[in-house]
């Protein structure tokens, strides 16, 4: 520890939440947002219009800056990461927010910087105190945008993010999306924050940049000083201050294994995912735009296991007509060529809000009118989408997937509407795939418990692990306060998944998996041992998953499944999976 590190004298381990995989070792750079000094002065009645003109100009400049960041992020990281900044643009277009600032300037007689600060503080207090986690998250967006506007009004250049001459580990209480977007990935070894969760905006961008990150470390940043030595483990979620030689040696071996692992992936993209004893798994990609199709194919995707059709709606911020949807789906289908593509029907609600769809604010949107519930309540919207998907199926191998099915009645009604849509197209002599496969997402406890009933009325299952874990454990997956309870290795989750796979095997229909579990190399042996037929993940992860399948056998994976099903604690199960992976992937016995 350096002389600056007066708070810690020896090795200390801090436990947080693993947010972005990787191991980093280096010196600490304590990132501080820094409190802007807000000037205060009176504005005469004659100068109010000039002050408001300054405000209008700051809105335009800020919007332009955010637009440039969005485009750069979209080009370098993808459209999903870029959508983070759509929320910032919405803040700038919030007429109530703008009107309040204008009113404050006109009535207070103070300068616009001070008025903007006052109004933003009021809004931050309101949103921070809301129980709705989705709306509470808007506080971060407001804070980020108003800080940028203040800097523009004050004539300060840049984003406020400090850069450093040598690569370091960035330590902070929390990072905003703008902070993360402005970071030079070559100069950031890792990121450690007091607050935040796996789904925070900054974490999504860190993960896309391949920067190891650990979040939710509590008062961690208060314990460290600039220049302190830190070891960061983005796999386990640990941060070790003043690491000993023994600790560094142990993590050095881990890092070396990971580097060798990465090198071995280079030749894998277009090889099949086949185990040494002959079990084949189809590895598909999750996408939501035509642009992502090319990345998926280059990464070795054998198809698209999840096309998030709500992206078409969210992009337009409205309900596109059947023709508009058809054109979007056709582009996606044609881009995939002969490869299969699974189109999930509209899944809005929860953390995906379409303003034109929200008539009333729900107290608990994840338990409310989302996904198939919304579609069955709004049949015309649903019919329009189904007909567009059917028309697109004439241009490639399309599968249809219903999200959030919780009971047989929902599935039967959805299929009835689909049959009606086919009949309407038949009357028009429209071309479509009459044998279109229909699948059901299993992502609730009720669906898992009665999936054998669904099997009689669908062609495949897709286990949506993010929601399945959330609903099985009653843990809001975007609530940072309970993020530590979100445990994919929970025995209840594993037993539910085992039942789904058993039913799929018994009924003779394939079972796929998407979500965080599908993307976790440590979890792949479990999925393999349970009998997974297909996985769908973000394109960059595909080569790594293929590598894992090439190294482990179905037989030993099945034995592992029996072992962990006899464990009663999540941590015990997680340790079993890590031990298995280390032994098989490092060449140890």
The catalytic residues are: 201, 514
d(CA 371, CA 379): 12
Q: Give Rg (Cα) of the chain.
A: 25
Per DSSP, the residues of 368-404 read SS-THHHHHHSHHHHHHHHHHHHHHGGGS-EEEEE-S
- 3-state SS of 258-306 is HHHHHHCCCCCCCCCEECCCCCEEEEEEEECCHHHHHHHHHCCCCCEEE
Using the structure block, give the residue that is written with the tokens 């600039």: 226
Per-position DSSP letters for 46-76, written without gaps between them = GGHHHHHHHHHHHHHHHHHHHHHHHHHHHHH
Q: What per-residue string of b and e applies to 16-33 under the rule 16 or more CB within 10 Å gives b? A: bbbbbbbbbbbbbbbbeb
Q: What secondary structure letter does DSSP report for 242? A: S
CA–CA distance from 570 to each of 488, 490, 529, 531 (Å)?
A: 8, 5, 18, 21
End-to-end CA distance of the chain: 37
> Is 157:139 a contact under the CB 8 Å cutoff?
no
∠ CA 315-88-540, rounded to 5°? 60
Strands 213-215 and 17-20: antiparallel
């Amino acid at each position: 520890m350096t002389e600056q590190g007066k708070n810690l004298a020896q090795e200390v381990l801090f436990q947080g939440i693993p947010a972005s995989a990787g191991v980093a070792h280096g010196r600490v750079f304590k990132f501080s947002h820094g409190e802007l000094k807000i000037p205060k002065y009176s504005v005469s009645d004659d100068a109010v219009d000039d002050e408001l003109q300054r405000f209008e100009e700051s809105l335009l400049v800020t919007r332009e800056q955010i637009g440039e960041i969005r485009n750069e992020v979209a080009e370098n990281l993808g459209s999903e990461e870029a959508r983070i900044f759509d929320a910032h643009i919405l803040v700038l277009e919030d007429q109530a927010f703008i009107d309040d600032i204008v009113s404050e300037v006109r009535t207070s007689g103070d300068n616009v910087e001070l008025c903007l600060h006052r109004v933003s503080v009021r809004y931050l207090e309101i949103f921070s105190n809301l129980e709705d986690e989705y709306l509470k998250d808007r506080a971060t967006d407001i804070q980020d945008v108003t800080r940028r506007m203040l800097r523009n009004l004050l004539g300060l250049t840049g984003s406020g993010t400090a850069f450093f001459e040598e690569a370091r580990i960035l330590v902070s209480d929390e990072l905003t999306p703008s902070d993360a977007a402005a970071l030079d990935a070559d100069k950031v070894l890792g990121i450690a924050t007091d607050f935040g969760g796996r789904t925070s905006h900054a974490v999504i961008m860190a993960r896309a940049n391949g920067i190891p990150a650990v979040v939710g470390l509590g008062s961690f940043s208060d314990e460290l000083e600039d220049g302190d030595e830190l070891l960061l483990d983005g796999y386990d979620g640990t941060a070790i201050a003043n690491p000993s030689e023994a600790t560094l040696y142990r993590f050095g071996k881990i890092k070396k294994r990971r580097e060798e692992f990465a090198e071995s992936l280079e030749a894998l993209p277009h090889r099949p995912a086949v185990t040494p004893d002959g079990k084949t798994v189809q590895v598909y990609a999750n996408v939501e735009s035509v642009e992502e199709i090319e990345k998926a194919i280059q990464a070795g995707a054998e198809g698209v296991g999840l096309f998030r059709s709500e992206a078409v709606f969210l992009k337009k911020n409205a309900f596109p007509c059947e023709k508009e949807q058809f054109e979007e789906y056709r582009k996606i289908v044609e881009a995939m060529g002969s490869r299969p593509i699974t189109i999930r029907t509209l899944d809005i609600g929860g953390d995906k809000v379409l303003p034109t769809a929200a008539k009333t604010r729900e107290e608990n949107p994840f338990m409310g009118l989302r996904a198939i519930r919304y579609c069955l309540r709004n049949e015309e919207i649903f019919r329009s989408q189904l007909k567009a998907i059917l028309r697109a199926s004439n241009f490639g191998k399309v599968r249809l997937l219903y999200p959030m099915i919780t009971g047989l009645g929902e599935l039967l009604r959805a299929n009835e509407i689909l049959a009606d849509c086919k009949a309407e197209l038949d009357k028009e002599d429209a071309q479509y795939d009459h044998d279109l496969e229909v699948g059901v997402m299993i992502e609730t406890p009720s669906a898992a418990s009665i999936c054998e009933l669904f099997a009689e009325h669908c062609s495949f299952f897709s286990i949506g692990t993010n929601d399945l874990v959330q609903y099985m454990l009653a843990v809001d997956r975007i609530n940072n306060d309970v993020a530590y309870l979100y445990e994919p290795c929970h025995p209840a989750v594993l037993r539910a998944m085992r039942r789904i796979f058993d039913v799929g095997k018994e009924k003779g229909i394939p079972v796929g998996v998407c979500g965080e579990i599908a993307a976790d190399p440590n979890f792949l042996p479990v999925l393999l041992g349970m009998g997974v037929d297909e996985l769908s993940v973000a394109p960059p992860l595909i080569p790594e998953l293929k590598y894992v399948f090439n190294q482990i056998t179905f037989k030993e994976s099945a034995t592992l499944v029996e072992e962990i099903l006899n464990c009663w604690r999540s941590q015990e199960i997680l340790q079993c999976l890590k031990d298995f992976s280390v032994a098989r992937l490092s060449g140890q016995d």
